[in-house]
């Protein structure tokens, strides 16, 4: 039986709405990779208390217990996989996921590159035909519904083929969170095709790929500047006639730097709530920053729960 998609498109979406949707779902078993500082360990324990995950802590036991003792955390009843260091933790977590012993991975206090290297390694068994990519799910009071920014954490300077997979992954996530036909804006600095601006050429090619059925499940338009993608007024002023302009569900950025700055500006200056998730592997990867607030970690785990449930009947 397929798990019903979340309906996160209502303008009053917040963490409580998301948690209410997943409240009836059993928690998923998650390998928490090297949670050897207070914020990452607390995030895993908070998600456990929220009924979202059953954590398996993959870390050096002595270091983990030292962090827990200093913070006053109780690790009773929580599985611990004792490993030598963070590199071994990433490798062991990937092994657990490949063996089906966990349904998601969660980043702890190690670097993102270290975790993702273990996930995409050929021997991990977690690779799919897709390139892995990161999605920020964001909701800000100034925009009427949640939206996705991608890729702002994994792919540095993606080429056209990689951008196509980034779009496909984001469309899949949008479907899981209840957007039946997501509107995908391919961002650039301008809204016209300029042969000396690669982002505009890629945007035009991606839209033609969608026309030809190479990218399915969403409605693409681009190049679009950021204002034209999210503001109907800006789109009208520029004379842009588009079913996507002014109402995008997905914002596809040209490269990691622009995406990372955009997402963090929305969080720190636009009061956006965020969740971070990696798609394209056989299991979702919960990827948050140590600077993220608790609400981001909880929301990310809730989305991972939705994805894991979806993957049971529709493996990536």
Residue 222 Ramachandran class (φ > 0 left, ψ -120 to 50 alpha, else beta): left
For the chain, domain boundaries: 129-280
Measured between alpha carbons, how far is 182 from 152 in angstroms, rounded to an integer?
19
pLDDT value for 14: 58
Pair of tokens at residue 169: 């992954």
Strands 273-279 and 133-139: antiparallel
List pLDDT tens digits, range 250-279: 999 999 999 999 999 999 999 999 999 999
Looking at the DSSP bridge assignments, the partners of residue 104 are 30
Q: What is the DSSP string of 153-214?
A: SS-SS--HHHHHHHHHHHHHHHHHTT-SS-EEEEE-SSSS--TT-HHHHHHHHHHHHHHTTS
Measured between alpha carbons, how far is 163 from 206 in angstroms, rounded to an integer?
8
- CATH fold for domain 129-280: Isopropylmalate Dehydrogenase (3.40.718)
pLDDT value for 291: 77
pLDDT value for 17: 77
278: phi then psi, degrees, rounded to nearest 5:
-105, 130
pTM across the whole model: 0.93
Strands 53-59 and 79-82: parallel
- In a 10 Å sphere around its CB, with 0-12 CB exposed, 13-18 middle and 19+ buried, how is residue 4 labelled? exposed
Mean pLDDT of the region 53-75:
97
Q: What is the mean pLDDT of the chain?
A: 93
């Amino acid at each position: 039986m397929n798990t019903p998609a979340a309906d996160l498109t209502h303008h009053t979406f917040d963490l409580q709405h998301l948690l209410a949707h997943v409240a009836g779902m059993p928690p998923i078993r998650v390998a928490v990779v090297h949670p050897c500082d207070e914020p990452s360990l607390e995030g895993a324990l908070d998600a456990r208390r929220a009924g979202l995950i059953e954590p398996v802590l993959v870390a050096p036991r002595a270091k983990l217990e030292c962090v827990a003792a200093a913070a006053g955390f109780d690790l009773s009843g929580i599985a611990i996989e004792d490993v030598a260091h963070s590199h071994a933790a990433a490798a062991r977590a990937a092994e657990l996921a490949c063996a089906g012993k966990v349904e998601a991975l969660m980043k702890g206090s190690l670097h993102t590159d270290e975790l993702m290297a273990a996930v995409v390694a050929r021997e991990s068994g977690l690779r799919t035909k897709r390139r892995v990519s990161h999605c920020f799910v964001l909701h800000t009071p100034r925009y009427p519904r949640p939206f996705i920014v991608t890729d702002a954490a994994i792919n540095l300077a993606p080429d056209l083929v990689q951008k196509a997979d980034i779009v496909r992954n984001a469309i899949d996530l949008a479907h899981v969170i209840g957007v039946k036909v997501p509107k995908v804006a391919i961002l650039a600095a301008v809204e016209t095709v300029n042969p000396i601006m690669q982002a505009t050429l890629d945007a035009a090619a991606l839209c033609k790929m969608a026309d030809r059925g190479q990218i399915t499940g969403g409605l693409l338009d681009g190049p679009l500047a950021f204002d034209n993608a999210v503001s109907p007024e800006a789109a009208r002023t520029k004379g842009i006639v588009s079913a996507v302009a002014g109402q995008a569900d997905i914002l596809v950025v040209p490269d990691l730097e622009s995406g990372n700055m955009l997402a963090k500006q929305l969080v720190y200056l636009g009061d956006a709530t965020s969740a971070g998730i990696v798609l394209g592997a056989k299991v979702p990867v919960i990827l948050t920053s140590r600077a993220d607030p608790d609400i981001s970690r909880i929301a990310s785990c809730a989305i991972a729960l939705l994805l894991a449930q979806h993957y049971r009947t529709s493996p990536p």
